[in-house]
Amino acid sequence: MPTALVTGGAGFIGSTLTRMLLERDYDVRVYDDLSSGSEEHLDGLDVELVVGDVRDLESLGRACGGVDTVFHLAAGAGVVDSIERPIENFDLNARGTLLALWAAKQAGVRRLVFSSSNAPLGDNAYPASEDKPVAPLSPYGAGKATGEAYCSAFFGAYGFEAVAVRFSNAYGPRSGRKSNVIPLFIRRIMAGEPLIVYGDGTQTRDFVYVTDLAGGLIRAAETPSAGGQIYQLASGVETSLNELVAMLGEVSGRPPQVVQEPPRAGEIQRNYSLIDKAREQLGHAPEVALRDGLQRTWDWFQTI
């Protein structure tokens, strides 16, 4: 039976990944400090939960014991939070990834899959691809770029099979604690509050349903040739915020009021990912169209 450690496994993406690993007959251990994740996300799952911080090397090393694969999802929050608290964000994202790599290597883990994003690319992120130079616009992006660099360094220096995968904007069930745009907009629609759009709404993102993303993570872990590589995991579809608002109005049956505010510093105007490399090398093939995924996500929010 293959064994996996999922750091951040009680969170939104991590708990979905944990479910899919169990369906593939993995023995799963979750490592989470529960600062943003929740034990409720693991209810009814046959997993071992270790409560710990990714900055605690000793605890992390014990959690890596006897594990084949580490999925490193634990991280600090996104762009806006990193601008307000850059040192804490570095400690969680850059140093935390280095410690996860070192703990995994020392414990004899076969492969670590690091969850990055398009933020390292900055203005080069349109469209995002693996061969573009990094030029982050935020401390969050710099921390993720550092994590990618350490994955490359561990592969080069130690032959350790580290793989970096760049997420686009994930959404789906169990995202109730997330502050990114889709769960935020859904909560505001449910509360009868206006949606705040920073800029004119023409800015674009690539929204990927959480099960499509988790499936890509598993393929990155299981594909023999993936060691030392970077992959874009996304839908490959560019969607504007204005289009997103219209779809949310359709699935909710509540056309929202929109209030426009000035654009925020450090945010990318246009963003979507080319997924050719992940499609060809990993077999990554997103299955859930945005409108269907929004309907599933809206329906889940009605249950909490």
Domains and CATH numbers, the chain: 3-170+207-233 (3.40.50.720), 172-205+237-270+288-301 (3.90.25.10)
Rounded to 5 degrees, φ, ψ at 116 are -105, -160
Q: What pLDDT is recorded for position 124?
A: 73
The model's pTM: 0.94
Q: Which of 45, 39, 16, 32 is nearest to 216 (CA)?
A: 16
Name the strand (E) or helix (H) holding 70. strand 69-72
Q: How confident is the model at residue 167 (pLDDT cuts 50, 70, 90)?
A: very high
Rounded to 5 degrees, φ, ψ at 111 are -150, 145
Question: Catalytic: 140?
Answer: yes
Per-residue pLDDT reduced to its tens digit, 87-114: 999 999 999 999 999 999 999 999 999 9
Residue of 26, 31, 140, 171 marked active site: 140
Helices 12-23, 210-222: inter-axial angle, 10-degree rounding: 60
Taking 80 as the threshold, does the pLDDT of residue 187 lie above it?
Answer: yes
